[in-house]
Amino acid sequence: MKRKLFILMVIALFAMQIVPSFGQEGGIPQTLVMPEQIAEGRPVTITVSDKPSPDREGELSLWQDQVNRFQEMYPNVTIEGLELEYEPTAFVALIAGDQLPTLFRSYFTEPEKFISQNAVADLTPLYEASGVADAFNPSVLEIATQDGAVYAIPENAYALGLAYNIELLAEAGYDAPPTTWDELVEIAQAVTDKDNGVAGFAFINDGSAATGWHFTNIAYSFGASPDDIITVNDDGSFTAEFGEGATVDALNFIHDLRWEYDVLPGATLDWGSITEALVSGRVAMAIYAGDQFGFMLNSFPDADISNFGYAPMPAGPNGISALTGGNLWMIDADASEDEREAAFYFQLWRQLDPAEYESAVITQSEQGRTIGQPVLPMYVGEHQEGREAFEADYNVLPVENYALFNDAVKAGDITLYPEPATAVQDYYAEVGVLVSEVLSNERTDPETRLGEVAEEFQIFVLDR
């Protein structure tokens, strides 16, 4: 299934290059036809996650205005915002306590877990009624699909790349980021200055699932495919294959980065602190998701964001490979038909209505927030073209610094891989711990330990 997904993804990206950009002239086409009435006019109340907290004033007013406009269009619908953001463990308790919000945001890795617990609604009838499925990048919509039924509304997608500090690299005599892992080692060694707390290269290394996430991208570029990590068998069962092959090579490489080349930071870095390490000049190059530049801009307003570039991941034996991921929205299985309809259209309207999209882009741009992130196209055809053309005038981020990445995506130079087939967060969590073990203990043998972890994962996760 995932091999199919990968092929679809490549096709979709190429298709976008081939589709002529005639949509740009006429702006963003209206892809979504909103219904006359929602729930046939019956009163309906839905709860929606990710309402911005009061300290994020600009975002909150944007959110509230949008809600008000929707409620004016459909006076029978009441939208209650919840300042609740997705967190895998917290949401387990919400499922058990029957307290999921009607509409909530989650990661690309998560639908399978919710579907297996019968916790989310099948949105296929709504997709069919609205006819919007064609607007989505099919490879992205595939992530929300299981056994032919669609369970989520994808919102954004990214591919991992390499963020780098232009100035630090220039000081060491390099005017371009590395294109291979060997070059990365060379530049990282030149830039590393342990006495002044500067590490040449970093990835998330706190031993959490995010560490496993970054490790998996390195494994991809060392030749592993999602199927080589967790294989989908013909009978629908799964086999953990990550105990051998390219994943072992990748872990050996990490072992060398730490114990032979010594170019990694001493401190542990998580999703947030890796940005802090970049902007404070403590890390020169880091594995980074394109949507983290928005976080960089919002969280470190004093940082000189123009000093950071974004390039494709260095090429390994498998060429340039990048792991993709993103966010999507799901609807509680306990929601009534009326609530499902209201939640579904509210989310689609926020994402696809041209007027909503344009006003959101303008407001965000005025507030200096996150337009121009190097992320993956979510839609296809005229809709995507129209969006890109519109956004170009409102870029807040230094998009010219991301040209290496964006051009490589557009030229199809990057092999985009989805995340492994099943139980992804569990797999990330396990290899995350192992990477931390390799980083802290020189005597850890990557091959033996990876084999043990794969065996445990097979027995405790895949076979259960």
Partner 1 sequence: MASNTSYHDNELLMRPRAVPLQRIWSFLSRQIVAYLFLLPAILIFGLVAWYPIARAFEMSFQQVSLTGESTDVGTANYDLMELDPAREIILENMLEFASWSVALGYALPVILAILIREMRHAKSFFRIVYFLPTVVPISIAVIVWRFIYDPDAGALNELLSFLGLPDQLWLYDPKLAKPSLVVVMTWASFGTTTLIYLSSLMEIPTELYEAAELDGASPLQRIRHVTLPHLFPIMSLLFVLQVISVVQVFTEPFLLTNGGPGRETLTPVLHIYRRAFERIDLGYASAWSVVLVVILLAFSLVYYLVNYRIRKIYSD
Q: Return the residue of 17, 45, 441, 448 that touches partner 1, per CB under 8 A.
A: 441
**72 to 91, contacts with partner 1 by CB under 8 A?**
88-89
Rounded Cα gap, residues 165 and 274, in angstroms: 13
Which residue in the set 19, 303, 389, 433 belongs to the binding site for partner 1 (CB under 8 A)? 433
Interactions with partner 1, residue window 272-331 (CB under 8 A): 282
CB of 438 to partner 1, least distance (A): 8
Query: By C-beta, is 296 or 429 nearer to partner 1?
Result: 429
Residues 395 to 424 in contact with partner 1, rule: CB under 8 A: 423
Residue number, 68 or 440, with CB nearest to partner 1: 440
Q: Is the Cβ of residue 149 or residue 267 nearer to partner 1 in the bound state?
A: 267
Instruction: Please say which residue, 27 or 88, places its beta carbon nearer to partner 1.
Output: 88
Structure tokens at 254: 């990490």
Choose, by CB under 8 A, the member of 49, 247, 364, 444 that binds partner 1.
444
- Residue 278 CA to residue 199 CA, distance in Å, equals 10
Non-local (6+) Cβ contacts of 334 within 8 A are: 98, 100
By CB under 8 A, the residues from 87 to 146 that bind partner 1 are: 88-89, 92-93, 95-96, 113, 117-119
- Does the protein bind partner 1 through residue 453 (CB under 8 A)? yes
- SS3 for the chain is CHHHHHHHHHHHHHHHHHCCCHHHCCCCCCCCCCCCCCHHHCCEEEEECCCCCCCCHHHHHHHHHHHHHHHHHCCCEEEEECCCCCCHHHHHHHHHCCCCCCEEEEECCCHHHHHHCCCECCCHHHHHHHCCHHHECHHHHHHCEECCEECEEEEEEEEEEEEEEHHHHHHCCCCCCCCEHHHHHHHHHHHCEHHHCEEEEECCCCCCHHHHHHHHHHHHHCCCCHHHHEEECCCCCEEECCCCCHHHHHHHHHHHHHHCCCCCCCCCCCCCHHHHHHHCCCEEEEEEECCHHHHHHHHCCCCCHHHEEEECCCEECCECEEEEEEEEEEEECCCCHHHHHHHHHHHHHHHHCHHHHHHHHHHHHHCCCCCCCCCECCECHHHHHHHHHHHHCCCCCCHHHHHHHHHHHHCCCCEEECCCCCCHHHHHHHHHHHHHHHHHCCCCCHHHHHHHHHHHHHHHHHCC
Binders of partner 1: how many residues, by CB under 8 A? 41
Q: 413 vs 456, which CB is nearer to partner 1?
A: 456
Please, what is the minimum distance in Å from the beta carbon of residue 302 to partner 1? 18
Pick between residue 1 and residue 95 the one whose CB is nearest to partner 1. Answer: 95
User: Can residue 212 be called a binding residue for partner 1 (CB under 8 A)?
Assistant: no
Q: Which is nearer to partner 1, 208 or 231 (CB)?
A: 208
Closest distance to partner 1 from the beta carbon of 262 (Å): 13
Binding segment for partner 1 (CB under 8 A), chosen from 26-34, 295-303, 395-403, 450-458, is: 450-458
Residue among 140 and 450 whose Cβ is closer to partner 1? 450
- Selected range binding partner 1 among 21-29, 253-261, 379-387, 425-433, rule: CB under 8 A: 425-433
Q: Residue 236 CB, nearest distance to partner 1 (Å)?
A: 19
95 or 399: CB nearest partner 1? 95
The residue within the footprint of partner 1, chosen from 158, 426, 431, 446 (CB under 8 A), is 426
Burial class (CB in 10 A: 0-12, 13-18, 19+), 305: middle
Convert residues 179-208 into a mask of x (bound to partner 1 by CB under 8 A) and - (unbound): ------------------x--------xxx
In angstroms and rounded to an integer, the radius of gyration of the C-alpha atoms of the chain is 22
Measured from the CB atom, is 263 or 416 closer to partner 1? 263
Per CB under 8 A, contacts with partner 1 among 28-47 are none
307: left (phi over 0), alpha (psi -120 to 50) or beta: alpha
Which is closer to partner 1, CB of 247 or CB of 425?
A: 425
Which residue of 32, 84, 218, 429 would you call a contact of partner 1, by CB under 8 A? 429
Token output for 245:
């092959």
Could you tell me the smallest distance in angstroms from the CB atom of residue 154 to partner 1?
23
Q: Using CA atoms in the order 97, 105, 135, 142, what is the torsion angle rounded to 10 degrees? A: -70
For partner 1, the closer CB: 79 or 434: 434
Q: Which positions from 243 through 272 interact with partner 1, judged by CB under 8 A?
A: 265-268
Which residues of the chain form contacts with partner 1 (CB under 8 A)? Answer: 88-89, 92-93, 95-96, 113, 117-119, 197, 206-209, 265-268, 282, 423, 425-426, 429, 433-434, 436-441, 444, 452-453, 455-456, 459-461, 464
